Amino acid sequence: MDKLPELLCPAGDRERLDAALLFGADAVYLAGKQFGMRTAPSNFSEEELADAVHCCHNLKKRVYVTCNILPRSEEIDQLPSYLQFLDAIGVDALIIADLGVLKLAEQYAPHCARHISTQMGIVNYATACALHDMGASRVVLARELSLDEIAEIRAKTPSSLELEAFVHGAMCMSYSGRCLLSSYLTGRDGNHGDCAQPCRWRYEVMEPNRPNRPLTVEEEQDGTYLFNANDMCMIEYLPQLHRAGIASLKIEGRAKAAYYVAGVTNAYRQALDAYRASGFAADFRLPEWLAHEPYTVSHRPYGTGFYFGDPSQNTKSGGYIREYQAVAVVTGYADGCLLVSQRNRFFKGDILEAVIPHERPWSFTATQLLNGDDQSIDSAPHPTMAVKIPCERALPIGSYLRKRV
């Protein structure tokens, strides 16, 4: 138990990949333009995939590519050439949710490890062992499991089979991910990465004889969100996750913004490093500022999923809580000024917090803003505009500036 779990972070495009690597991911998971369970992010072309693998390996980081849709028969014929390509560029592992794809990957991508997606709903040691016998080196456990159940699976499976589990991010109402609600209501297939998230909608009941009088099924005065799960946040429970035998801690969010990836990766990286520095103390406690960091990204109300029993549902709203807003990304430092690229509007006089890799956030006041022509401006209103901010210290390129909303 003296080995720190892997920190596995999402990368929906190159900007998010760079953020994950800069802020401390041990490994990233991403997708090509097909066969992945997220269509909202731009994902990676074949050329971009090859470049991403090269970049990660230069930094001694690992790359896992999602092949975790449930493919129809007409899609199967396209898989062999894609799997051969992933094998040729040196992808470390494939994330797979279908037994047919698992067999094809053994044949066409023999140098890629095979990880079994949470979509397969692995909730017991017998299934985990069977998949290991079929060539899987890792299983991504179903999100319905408690820590005690995970510990039992660890105790009854080969040590060569790694266990991966989600520790942060959005929770699907259909926790293992196989849901038909979006397909039924919108024609968008969640099992092909195109979920419309109808579980986040507010619902009413209609009585057939009174079609113009909808009835609200009320849990709260604002109505009922029947399927709306809280987000997960396990940053304060690293000793428990470690003792249960989880080898890889997975952050959800390939469709989330780059600032989300940076902020959450940075928080968990520093939390894991502090836990290791404590000697893996069973009574390890996070510093208060670090426990607060996950609240500085856009999120729904947080919970602990099924790890300590049945999870609570979010009955208030399907929307997000945004207490902070990323306003700029640092692109350089010159003549006593931070050079930044704007992400959201900010103003002269704003108190900004710098989100810096492997450091506690640092606050300063934007006493002056300069545009690209070195003219003083009162605000930075335009997306990606270049801005200079006088600042006493240089910050690493890729650091984020945020402000409280």
Q: Which residues, including other chains, have CB under 8 Å from residue 371's CB and lie 6 or more apart?
A: 377, 385, 386, 387, 388
Q: Could you read off the pLDDT of 69-115 as tens digits, one per residue? A: 888 898 899 999 999 999 999 999 999 999 999 999 999 999 999 99
**pLDDT, tens digit, for every residue of 196-209?**
777 667 766 677 77
Helix-helix angle 46-58:14-22, to 10 degrees: 10
pLDDT tens for 328-338 read 999 999 999 99
Query: pLDDT tens across 125-135, in order?
Result: 999 999 999 99
CA dist., res. 98 & res. 105, Å (int): 11
Q: What is the predicted pLDDT for the residue at 226?
A: 63
What pLDDT score does 196 carry?
A: 76
DSSP state string for 278-292 = TTS-TT----HHHHH
- Angle, helices 99-108 vs 79-89, to 10°: value is 50
Q: Give the tokens for residue 119.
A: 């979509």
Spatial distance between the Cα atoms of 166 and 246, rounded to a whole number of angstroms: 10
Q: Which two tokens stand for residue 278?
A: 């404590």
Q: What is the pLDDT of residue 123?
A: 94
Average pLDDT over residues 152-159: 98
Contact (CB, 8 A) for 334 and 171: no
Residue 340 has a pLDDT of 98
pLDDT digits (tens, 9 = 90+) for 298-314: 998 899 989 998 776 65
Residue 112 has a pLDDT of 98
Spatial separation of the C-alpha atoms in residues 249 and 234, rounded to whole Å: 10
Please report the pLDDT score of residue 41 as a whole number.
62
As a whole number of angstroms, the distance between CA 60 and CA 162 comes to 20
- What pLDDT is recorded for position 213? 73
Looking at residue 33, its pLDDT comes to: 87
Higher pLDDT, 3 or 52: 52
- How far apart are the C-alpha atoms of 321 and 298, rounded to whole Å? 6
Residue 92 corresponds to which tokens in the numbers above?
């470390």
What is the sign of the dihedral through the CA atoms of 108, 114, 120 and 125?
positive
Q: Which domains does the chain have, with CATH numbers?
A: 6-174+228-303 (3.20.20.70), 324-404 (2.40.30.10)
**pLDDT band at residue 164, thresholds of 50, 70 and 90?**
very high
pLDDT of res. 339: 98
Does the structure show a pLDDT above 60 at 315? no
For residue 99, the model assigns a pLDDT of 96
Could you give the CA distance from residue 23 to residue 266 in angstroms, rounded to a whole number?
A: 5
The pLDDT tens digits for 45-78 are 999 999 999 999 999 999 999 998 888 898 899 9
pLDDT tens profile 226-250: 677 789 999 999 999 999 999 999 9
172 — alpha (psi -120 to 50), left (phi > 0) or beta? beta
Q: What is the pLDDT of residues 336-361, one digit of tens each?
A: 999 999 999 999 999 999 999 999 99
- From the number of C-beta atoms within 10 Å of its C-beta (0-12, 13-18, 19+), residue 181 rates as middle
Q: What is the pLDDT of residues 277-296, one digit of tens each?
A: 999 999 999 999 999 999 99
Section 360-388 average pLDDT: 96
List pLDDT tens digits, range 22-32: 999 999 999 99
Rounded Cα distance between 126 and 10, Å, is 29
Q: Helix or strand or coil: residue 346?
A: strand
Q: If you average pLDDT over residues 210-219, what whole number do you get?
A: 66
DSSP secondary structure letter of residue 159: T
Check the CA dihedral 348-349-350-353 and report its sign: positive
DSSP 131-142: HHHTT-SEEE--
